Structure 1
Amino acid sequence: MIARLIAWSARNLLLVFFGTGFAAAAGLYALELSPLIGKRSKLGRDRNWQRGN
């Protein structure tokens, strides 16, 4: 089964590269949305910051 997957990937390099790029972009997008301690939102959407706390 792994041999078939490798053979398919070798035949469809463009799809593999697009899939890899999409996965990397999705990961970076998720990282931007995840709240980090001590980091204010770039868009000013941090609720405590808006309340003045």
Structure 2
Amino acid sequence: MTTALEIHIEELRAELRNADPAERGQIEAELELARAELVVVIAERDGVVDAEPPF
């Protein structure tokens, strides 16, 4: 899963480099979400956070 997210992040970075101003905000938001998702996936994999709900 992390590989797919890393590839997606690289694709978004490439898009951002070539984006016109009208698209830039949307791509930046997608990039931020993808980065956050990657952090969570890595934390879950490493056992830093528990993926189960607390109840």
| Class of the TM-score when normalised by the shorter of the 2 chains | 0.3 to 0.5
Question: Higher relative CO (CA 8 A, sep ≥ 6), structure 1 or 2?
Answer: 2
Structure showing greater Rg: 1
Question: What is the TM-score of this pair, normalised by structure 2?
Answer: 0.45
Question: What is the TM-score of this pair, normalised by structure 1?
Answer: 0.46
Structure number with higher helix proportion? 2
